């Protein structure tokens, strides 16, 4: 690592905001599940947009590349550096002010480093809601959410992050600051430039602030847990809920019994919402702005479902504690599974009616292998988005993971789906995505990258990768206990 580079960065952000010691850098070099680790030249922690701009100029002068990092909760190793020791991790955590909340105009302007949960709270304080919600909302940052076009639990009703953005402030690769922080709903004055940066995973510019849509508050919410015999039954149920409740459904989640049992066994205080075991479970959330009345509507509808035998059993959360228990099972099953082995994760999408076929094909694939594989899929079935996760022993993960993912991606591609529904490409999927894209799509994507980042300073290796970069995105680690967040 060059001393000149360290000194130049320190001149921009101050010496205390340049981390060079191994122990200080570690949390920024390792992914959230401690599976992958890189090696950074240094970690720079700018406190202003101007400092971000100057850091990019410094990086270019020293031939260093830059890895923007938000909450570092990304699941495709896009926010950690590669192994070369030549990349700068640029942490946005100190650029974290909420600049303005405007309930009459229904928008909030927040800096990139604001933690998602803090934006939700700021919206609640003015009797509005910010509907983006995901398991990592206590540590992921809005800049990272935009850079990954995050999905989460309410996509069914509100769409992906993209649909919540009115304007952006971005620092371009050459240090130019683009102030596109508009708050209007309608703006057809040419190309919608902000769209290029949404989902660009730090490869086209560094997002420093965003103008975000606020929505009406949801005052009455009903959370329902139903048991069904099959994935087909869950998809049928979704169609019936959709016909009856329309846009009042914010979440419709499918969970396999293997995940439920792991959560109940390993997560402290977690209980099975229904006393008997069932093969498949559906977690549904309905909400509206009126203060009361939804409970009655829900009960009447559920009675009909039971009368026609459309689900095996079910319950409505009677308290916030019961509701949180249901969501803890949904959100915590991977964490629970890690107590028993290594989780092979995936994030794919097919059109909703094809969900059962995909699950069936993958379950058969796992059964046909010589190794013990615990199939524990779950997902946002209302979006056709599945995490076909599998639990395996650490001794076999290296051999089975690439084969399993390849089989899954082939199946999904054949079904006309996407091999990365909401987590992005990062370093982990660059090759697999690239080889399945058409030449036209790849050519256009490379042209945009060359135009905005001609020297490839911004997050090289992410999105555009090679077979070897996907096989070894950074040093692969044996899965270790989830680290406590420090950044
Ligand atoms: C328990 C858990 C549950 C999750 N659930 C979901 C889910 O339901 N849906 C979902 O979509 N994701 C989910 N994720 C993944 C992750 O939380 C999201 O991808 C999130 O949007 C990442 O935000 P972050 O601030 O942590 O970004 P990081 O992980 O720091 O970065 C992610 C990518 O964005 C880039 N980046 C970060 N900040 C900026 C910036 N300011 N400007 C430019 N580029 C930037 C990075 O370089 C990297 O490529 C989950 C993760 C965990 C650990």
What are the tens digits of pLDDT across the range 229-286?
Answer: 999 999 999 999 999 999 999 999 999 999 999 999 999 999 999 999 999 999 999 9
Q: Taking Cα atoms as reference points, which of 233, 312, 328 lies closest to residue 275?
A: 312
Cβ of 314 below 6 Å from ligand 1: no
Ligand 1 atom nearest residue 197's Cα: 43
Q: Taking Cα atoms as reference points, which of 469, 453, 354, 451 lies closest to residue 412?
A: 354
Distance, CA 461 to ligand 1 centroid (Å)? 17
Nearest residue CA, atom 20 of ligand 1? 145
Cβ of 136 below 6 Å from ligand 1: yes
Cβ of 151 below 6 Å from ligand 1: yes
CA torsion sign, 351 to 356 to 360 to 363? positive
CA 417 to chain centre: 18
pLDDT at 118: 98
Domain 3-94, second-level architecture: 2-Layer Sandwich (3.30)
Nearest residue CA, atom 33 of ligand 1? 201
CA distances from 91 to 80, 153, 222, 243, 262 (A): 11, 26, 38, 45, 35
The answer regarding whether domain 342-423 maps to CATH 3.40.190.170 reads no
Ligand 1 atom nearest residue 201's Cα: 49
According to DSSP, residue 279 is labeled S
Tell me the best of 44, 56, 70, 143 to mutate to test the pocket of ligand 1, counting ligand atoms within 8 Å of each CB and taking the most.
Answer: 70
According to DSSP, residue 15 is labeled G
Domain boundaries, the chain: 3-94, 220-337, 342-423
> Matching CATH topology for 3-94 and 342-423?
no
pLDDT at 132: 97
User: Quick check: 155 and 145 in contact, CB under 8 A?
Assistant: no
Q: How far apart are CA 388 and CA 366, in angstroms?
A: 11
Q: Taking Cα atoms as reference points, which of 264, 162, 275 lies closest to residue 227?
A: 275
- Which parts of the chain have pLDDT scores under 50? 478-487
pLDDT at 479: 47
Nearest residue CA, atom 15 of ligand 1? 74
pLDDT at 486: 32
pLDDT at 466: 61
Distance, CA 380 to ligand 1 centroid (Å)? 18
Cβ of 385 below 6 Å from ligand 1: no
Ligand 1 atom nearest residue 112's Cα: 41
Q: Taking Cα atoms as reference points, which of 228, 149, 156 lies closest to residue 384?
A: 156
Domain 220-337, second-level architecture: 2-Layer Sandwich (3.30)
Q: Taking Cα atoms as reference points, which of 139, 134, 130, 200 lies closest to residue 171?
A: 200
Distance, CA 116 to ligand 1 centroid (Å)? 11
Counting Cα atoms < 13 Å in the Cβ hemisphere of 372 gives: 8
Distance, CA 273 to ligand 1 centroid (Å)? 30
Nearest residue CA, atom 45 of ligand 1? 202
Cβ of 170 below 6 Å from ligand 1: no
Q: How far apart are CA 306 and CA 415, in angstroms?
A: 32
Q: How far apart are CA 477 and CA 200, in angstroms?
A: 26
Q: Taking Cα atoms as reference points, which of 199, 52, 81 lies closest to residue 461?
A: 81
Q: How far apart are CA 425 and CA 247, in angstroms?
A: 30
Ligand 1 atom nearest residue 143's Cα: 41
Ligand 1 atom nearest residue 152's Cα: 8
Ligand 1 atom nearest residue 32's Cα: 53
Distance, CA 136 to ligand 1 centroid (Å)? 8
Phi-psi region of 175 (alpha: psi -120 to 50; beta: other; left: phi over 0): left
Cβ of 93 below 6 Å from ligand 1: no
Q: How far apart are CA 418 and CA 357, in angstroms?
A: 15
Cβ of 334 below 6 Å from ligand 1: no
Ligand 1 atom nearest residue 202's Cα: 44
Q: How open is the CA angle 310-315-320, to the nearest 5 degrees?
A: 145
Cβ of 129 below 6 Å from ligand 1: no
Distance, CA 304 to ligand 1 centroid (Å)? 40
pLDDT at 484: 32
């Amino acid at each position: 690592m060059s001393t000149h580079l360290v000194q130049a960065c320190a001149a921009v952000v101050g010496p205390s905001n340049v981390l060079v010691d191994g122990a200080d850098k570690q949390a920024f070099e390792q992914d959230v599940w401690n599976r992958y680790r890189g090696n950074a030249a240094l970690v720079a922690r700018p406190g202003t947009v101007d400092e971000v701009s100057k850091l990019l100029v410094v990086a270019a002068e020293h031939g260093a590349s830059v890895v923007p990092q938000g909450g570092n909760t990304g699941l495709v190793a896009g926010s950690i550096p590669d192994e070369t020791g030549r990349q700068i991790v640029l942490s946005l955590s100190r650029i974290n002010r909420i600049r303005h909340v405007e309930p009459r105009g229904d928008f909030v302007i927040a800096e990139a480093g604001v933690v998602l949960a803090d934006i939700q709270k700021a919206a609640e304080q003015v009797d509005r809601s910010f509907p983006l919600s995901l398991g990592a909302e206590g540590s992921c940052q809005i800049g990272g959410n935009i850079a990954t076009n995050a999905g989460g639990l309410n996509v069914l009703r509100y769409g992906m992050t993209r649909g919540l953005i009115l304007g952006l402030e971005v620092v371009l690769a050459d240090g130019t600051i683009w102030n596109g922080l508009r708050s209007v709903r309608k703006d057809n004055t040419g190309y919608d430039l902000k769209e290029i940066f949404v989902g660009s995973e730090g490869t086209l510019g560094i997002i420093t602030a965003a103008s975000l849509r606020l929505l009406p508050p949801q005052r009455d919410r009903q959370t329902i847990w139903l048991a069904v015999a099959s994935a087909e039954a869950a998809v049928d149920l979704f169609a019936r809920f959709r016909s009856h409740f329309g846009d009042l459904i914010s979440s419709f989640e499918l969970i396999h019994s293997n995940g439920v049992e792991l959560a109940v066994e390993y997560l402290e205080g977690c209980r099975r919402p229904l006393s008997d075991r069932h093969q498949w479970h559906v977690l549904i959330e309905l909400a509206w702005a009126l203060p009361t009345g939804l409970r009655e509507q829900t009960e009447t509808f559920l009675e009909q479902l039971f009368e026609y035998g459309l689900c095996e059993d079910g319950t409505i959360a009677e308290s916030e504690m019961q509701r949180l228990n249901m969501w803890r099972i949904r959100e915590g099953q991977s964490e629970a599974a890690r107590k028993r082995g290594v989780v092979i994760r995936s994030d794919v999408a097919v059109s909703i009616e094809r969900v059962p076929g995909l699950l069936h094909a993958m379950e058969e694939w796992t059964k046909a292998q010589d190794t013990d594989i615990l199939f524990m899929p779950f997902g946002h079935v209302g979006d056709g988005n599945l995490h076909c996760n599998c639990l395996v022993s650490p001794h076999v993960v290296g051999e089975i993971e690439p084969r399993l993912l390849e089989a899954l991606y082939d199946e999904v591609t054949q079904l006309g789906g996407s091999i990365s529904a909401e987590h992005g490409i990062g370093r982990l999927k660059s090759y697999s995505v690239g080889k399945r894209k058409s030449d036209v799509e790849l050519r256009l994507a490379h042209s945009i990258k060359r135009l905005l980042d001609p020297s490839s300073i911004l997050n090289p290796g992410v999105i555009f990768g090679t077979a070897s970069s996907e096989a070894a995105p950074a040093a692969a680690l044996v899965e270790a206990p989830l680290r406590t967040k420090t950044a």
